[in-house]
Amino acid sequence: KNEVEQSPQNLTAQEGEFITINCSYSVGISALHWLQQHPGGGIVSLFMLSSGKKKHGRLIATINIQEKHSSLHITASHPRDSAVYICAVDKTSGSRLTFGEGTQLTVNP
């Protein structure tokens, strides 16, 4: 079993819908990262969090350390949000990440 599991693997939504992507992990962590991979392949860091909740524009990330679970929410989704969203964890503070397999999000107009 992977140490980092994401669900769903694939998600299709209509423009304007509220989207949730989930990440569960089975190890102790110092931080959890959410990354976005564009269709062209480039990867961008969206959030890094170790507790609570962070918000940036229409994106919200939450983490529950006790339950070892994080969610990424997108409000008022738009076709430009179509990408692969990747969850990764820092098992130590040494910046060696362990990655989930990613969630492919497609937002249709």
Partner 1 sequence: DADVTQTPRNRITKTGKRIMLECSQTKGHDRMYWYRQDPGLGLRLIYYSFDVKDINKGEISDGYSVSRQAQAKFSLSLESAIPNQTALYFCATSGVPGQGAANQPQHFGDGTRLSIL
Q: Which stretch binds partner 1 (CB under 8 A): 19-27, 57-65, 70-78, 85-93?
A: 85-93
In this structure, the strands spanning 97-99 and 103-108 are unpaired
Q: Does 40 bind partner 1 (CB under 8 A)?
A: yes
Q: Does 86 bind partner 1 (CB under 8 A)?
A: yes
Bond before 8 cis per omega within 30 degrees: yes
Which of 107, 22, 89, 91 shows the shortest CA–CA distance to 62?
22
Q: Does 83 bind partner 1 (CB under 8 A)?
A: no
Q: Does 105 bind partner 1 (CB under 8 A)?
A: no
Measured distance CA(96)–CA(109) in Å, rounded: 38
Residues in contact with partner 1 by CB under 8 A are: 30-31, 33, 35, 40-45, 48, 50, 86, 88, 90, 93-97, 99-102
